[in-house]
Structure 1
């Protein structure tokens, strides 16, 4: 892989490529499945409401922040450093990096599931693979990919273009085939299928799943470090955010509706979050008499898409690790770089934390429970950190004279600040209620097990973030 200095010499990234790079971290067919299981067809209304009241403002806020700090390569950590000081920049860099780790584990889990479908042609069962074997295979895939990522130059761009583009095409195909299916007058799986099914239910279950809804649509800021590699970044980065918002809206609304056609939203499989995407394309193939053609096309697409996600997450995390702010608060050993300019010890720390999270969750009763708990962990930690983004936006809008930008989201200063606070409150609310397990019966042994993990695992990550600066401070004192 190129060093970061060499990266500057590469061909400039275009805004459609940036949008596709972002798309693989923001939304995927699996994200639709996860929330469909939580909310049923009512999730269609949830997506529409959130798109209007949260997603579009969020992605255009990212557009203004990226345009404002277009000369900085640290992304969110750079934004907070400029608006709130170096210490806040480190806290953000650490938090943003560490909350990506449960997602890395989740993506690696999904990669294992995709290969299981590829070689077996059906869903994994506990009899075929134990919890510990599942955890071990996930860890192996994760480690192998880190080495793969750094052996091939430009793998990030190509994987993002192929993986993101293929997934979007498969989603469009799924929606088109659903329209054809309905046009032929065939039976809809969800019965009764009427307007009331789509009405949102703003109850405790909605609040418990809000964090996962936000998690499904956040991550737009992860490509912010690449603004410096764009041609006319301040002007073109917001265009990528507009394209991303359109793709996100299409996928969530029409994809969720299409699922209600092939699945009975009132009686969904328990393992839908882990295997639902495959069940969907398997069902579509069966309905149209095409066997497993759609299923295997999706399996290959899913594998590429997961590799693209790993590429963006690992590469973006490296840039945060190498930022000047992070170096100041991290032990020297973690920022040590290899001959390619990459923080190799940082990657070993990444592997270590991911392994701890994975094996802690492997104490749950089944592979399906492991998958669901690690997935829902993302709906807790990720929105909390996304809230920092809105804090940075509030700061730049309160002081426009200090932070000029070629692109301004909402000209009116007061209204812009209100929107920033609104988005911040939504993310914190979703993250807090997400601590309560949604995939187990309340009060059961599994429910308590998940609740303990949902509290302990984030505390471990926060604790490590406190210890590392103390070690760095001790090292500096020994040098003086």
Structure 2
């Protein structure tokens, strides 16, 4: 058998790769915490209006530009133009800066659960600093440590990623099997009862998600749960009989993932009563996963007739396992994302855009650019963590900022898609959207879906709680990054026009 034949993905392996790229366990408890059972319809809508059509778009891009080194920059440059491509790519990269800020601060929650069996980050104090400020300092230490180690070109971190991925897979199994066992032990009774199906699927038990606008803003979380499909586009040429296998694989994956999310949300309702467990002020979007897994262990032990004292210990150990799994997964992801988006930005775009030292690759890493990146992330962590808010509000804000920042760049690729389809000079060996009209309609649906979800998420704090600062932070970040990208590229164009650099 040839190497080429060995590398070809079957339908099963393609579905598995898409699933592992997209499905995130933490999205399930976070969705239940924010919306209860009412999260389910939004996740289904996200799959139909965003995940499936967008994945097919990326598949066509990936097949047409499979030889291009610049990734999504090359896709948009060839389809629309260089400035548009740079702004979209820069915003995509900037979203990972926000992700680094969020994870640098929130990664201590799974570590705390791994060590203590519960989240103790809100109790952290040091030399007069409150918990949020201490977490911010730990985040700064973390980002600089990871940058230092990654700049040495360490490949062993892949082992951490694979171990973390396996542990998170076990969490999904534990939730499914554990939920069914608790349902059996409780004689089919749900901890979060469904008295009226239509009401349960539309009304959130969370007091912060009662208005129409706040419910609509949740859609951003549902879209974010389907993030990671950028990796799908690069799999087309590696797929066996791609013209048939790939669309089938994407469709099957989307069905499995959307059902998986919906089923997971339902499973939590089997052993968690929202008012009794999740209404406490100490619960937030960052620690809710471990609180829910702790409760699963406790309810399982009670169902088996184990004493309450022992059940509490079992719950704490389940939370420890969840914490360790999430910590390993986040660590592996962090070591990859500390350099890969930055490397693609610098290698894919014109070299003259950047200082010469940034373009130097050492140990297969853009070391100087990584150091600058760590300084920027450290500054952002410092600004957010010393902003005077309590830990719960701090983490909730970071998660919301990440969701908006990471979904807006998707719009650039979906807007560029009709331009990509209209250019006859681009060879497209793989096509799902066989007519321009169909491609345009799909592009509009995907773009409007992402745009409206983000608009609702951005304006909701200002209109619902008169919290203008949160709205400005959530929407202002992506706007700021877009402006920075625009001025960077305009400056580059002016230099070329004035012949200060060579073409």
- 1:94, CA displacement in angstroms? 1.1
- Aligned twin of 2:377: 354
- 1:25, CA displacement in angstroms? 5.8
Alignment of 1:120-159 (within 5 A): 120-129=116-125, 130-151=131-152, 154-155=155-156, 158-159=159-160
Q: Is the 8 A contact 2:58 2:232 kept in 1?
A: no
Rg larger for = 2
- Aligned twin of 1:32: 28
- 1:386, CA displacement in angstroms? 0.6
Q: Is the 8 A contact 1:274 1:372 kept in 2?
A: yes
- Aligned twin of 1:457: 477
- 1:375, CA displacement in angstroms? 0.8
Q: Distance in 1 between matches of 2:103 and 2:45?
A: 27
Alignment of 1:60-71 (within 5 A): 60-71=56-67
Task: Pick which of 152-161 and 39-48 moved more.
Answer: 152-161
- 1:224, CA displacement in angstroms? 5.0
SS at match of 1:322: helix
Normalising by structure 1, report the TM-score: 0.85
Query: 2:337 is matched with which residue: 313, 320, 338?
Result: 313
- Aligned twin of 2:258: 249
Query: 1:408 is matched with which residue: 431, 436, 445?
Result: 431
Q: 1:387 to 1:463 in 2, by over 3 A?
A: closer
Q: Distance in 1 between matches of 2:24 and 2:236?
A: 23
- Aligned twin of 1:342: 365
Q: Distance in 2 between matches of 1:13 and 1:93?
A: 29
Q: Distance in 2 between matches of 1:410 and 1:220?
A: 18
State yes or no: 1:378 paired with 2:402: yes
State yes or no: 1:429 paired with 2:452: yes
State yes or no: 1:175 paired with 2:157: no
Q: Distance in 1 between matches of 2:14 and 2:139?
A: 28
Q: Is the 8 A contact 1:333 1:345 kept in 2?
A: yes
Which stretches in structure 2 are left out of the alignment for 5+ residues?
1-5, 126-130, 204-210, 302-310
State yes or no: 1:218 paired with 2:227: yes
Normalising by structure 2, report the TM-score: 0.81
- Aligned twin of 1:112: 108
Q: Distance in 2 between matches of 1:406 and 1:387?
A: 24
Q: 1:327 to 1:200 in 2, by over 3 A?
A: farther
Q: 1:26 to 1:145 in 2, by over 3 A?
A: farther
State yes or no: 1:102 paired with 2:111: no
Q: Distance in 2 between matches of 1:439 and 1:287?
A: 39
- 1:317, CA displacement in angstroms? 0.6
Q: 1:326 to 1:256 in 2, by over 3 A?
A: farther
Q: 1:18 to 1:392 in 2, by over 3 A?
A: farther
Query: 1:274 is matched with which residue: 268, 286, 305?
Result: 286
Q: Distance in 2 between matches of 1:92 and 1:207?
A: 25
State yes or no: 1:283 paired with 2:295: yes
State yes or no: 1:331 paired with 2:340: no
Q: How many residues align?
A: 464
Q: 1:233 to 1:334 in 2, by over 3 A?
A: farther
Kindly provide the CA deviation profile for residues 129-182 of structure 1, in whole angstroms up to 9, marking residues without a partner as x. Answer: 421111111122222223333546545654444333432332132012212221
- 1:455, CA displacement in angstroms? 4.3
Q: 1:91 to 1:107 in 2, by over 3 A?
A: same
Kindly provide the CA deviation profile for residues 320-361 of structure 1, in whole angstroms up to 9, marking residues without a partner as x. Answer: 2233424243333332322x1321222123212322322222
Q: 1:152 to 1:335 in 2, by over 3 A?
A: closer
SS at match of 1:402: coil
Query: 2:270 is matched with which residue: 261, 268, 288?
Result: 261
- Aligned twin of 1:52: 48
State yes or no: 1:389 paired with 2:413: yes
Q: 1:213 to 1:115 in 2, by over 3 A?
A: same
Q: Distance in 1 between matches of 2:160 and 2:241?
A: 22
Q: Distance in 2 between matches of 1:376 and 1:255?
A: 22
Alignment of 1:156-235 (within 5 A): 158-184=159-185, 185=187, 187-200=189-202, 203-222=212-231
Q: Is the 8 A contact 1:41 1:257 kept in 2?
A: yes
Alignment of 1:439-450 (within 5 A): 442-443=465-466, 447-450=467-470
Cα RMSD, aligned residues only: 3.3
Q: Is the 8 A contact 1:75 1:223 kept in 2?
A: no
- Aligned twin of 1:5: none
Which stretches in structure 1 are left out of the alignment for 5+ residues?
1-10
SS at match of 1:288: helix
Q: 1:478 to 1:58 in 2, by over 3 A?
A: closer
Q: Is the 8 A contact 2:86 2:485 kept in 1?
A: no
Kindly provide the CA deviation profile for residues 85-133 of structure 1, in whole angstroms up to 9, marking residues without a partner as x. Answer: 2222222221111111111222233321111212232113533242111
